[in-house]
Amino acid sequence: MTDGLGAMVLASGEGRRLRPLTAEVPKPMLPVLGQTLLDRALDKVAATGPHRIVVALHHRPDVVADHLRSGPYPVSVKVEERLTGPAGAVRSYGADPDLKVLLVVSGDLLFDDDLGGLVDRHLATAAEMTFATRRVNRASRFGVLEVDTDGRVTRAREKPPVPDDEEHVVSAGIYCLSPRAAAAIPAGTTFDFAQHLTPLLLQRGATVQTYGLRGYWSDVGTPAALREANLAALRGLLATRKDGGRLIPTGDGSTYVSDRATVGPDVIFRGHNALLGPVRIGAGATLMDSVVMGGTEISPGSAICGALAWSPEPEGVHPR
């Protein structure tokens, strides 16, 4: 455990690009096999040994808070009445006289790195803030960072209009902050890490560092990305728990079947598939490289390929 390490998980966003999946279920509660995105983030955060974990909520906070109460980690829940941006949400962490490093993780990401390396990098460089980063194309969706040869940030731009075919270093939605950096976030305004906090710290002569993630990473921003995340887990590209379900080998892949799923006779699975929640697959149906979730029913004899199929679960049903 790192002395003086506190942690905050940001689970406030509405996930608008994932609608209608997120109309009732907050984005951090979406599943990757037997685990929600939020549970995965909390596993990674808890492994670093923080003395305190705060989860910031906004969209459907009742659903997420109920879920957290049945979880394995003691967390404090802070509900944002008004969204104030990712950095703005850090203000709700509150007073902590023992805090030396604040680890901030977006709870709607999917990543496979151990975060201990990020914390160690932050401490070793004596930075005021450290970004976890990735190198990506289509970087205009992210906070783009300009970095020197020592990994220090020299400039940050939020969602700039860079060409899709250019590769850039981008913020991965995971950060370490010193107490001074956290205290620099002004009250009563919307604030972002790349667009606002980084230039503020650089103007003050502070060091802003980077730490490159090496494992699987996705912001799971669209239904297609959620499908791909589940198939990536089945391909072994990232480790994930398979709680509440079982794996069925299919010869050319594997299929995860939730314990709440109903599978009729003579169903054929090809490639990799995931049946998440109380779905119903009719007799003689064929599924190939697809994710079926929520309350979806696949008609007998139907065939789906390369799909994400979803319909709402019965009202009030949001199981772990």
Domain boundaries, the chain: 5-218, 244-311
Helices and strands per DSSP (H, E), number in the chain: 7, 24
The confidence score (pLDDT) of residue 14 equals: 74
Residue pair 102/51 in contact (Cβ under 8 Å)? The answer is: no
| C-alpha dist (Å) from residue 294 to 25, 187, 304, 309, 314 | 10, 39, 16, 8, 9
Give me the pLDDT at residue 62, please: 87
Q: How many CB atoms lie within 10 A of CB 164?
A: 9
Burial class (CB in 10 A: 0-12, 13-18, 19+), 302: middle
Residue 318, pLDDT score: 46
User: Are the CB atoms for 7 and 45 separated by under 8 Å?
Assistant: yes
CATH second-level architecture of 5-218?
Answer: Alpha-Beta Complex (3.90)
Kindly report the pTM of this predicted structure.
0.91
Mean pLDDT by 10 residues, the chain (320 residues): 88 80 83 91 95 92 89 90 89 91 94 95 96 91 90 92 90 96 91 94 96 92 91 89 85 92 96 94 96 94 95 59
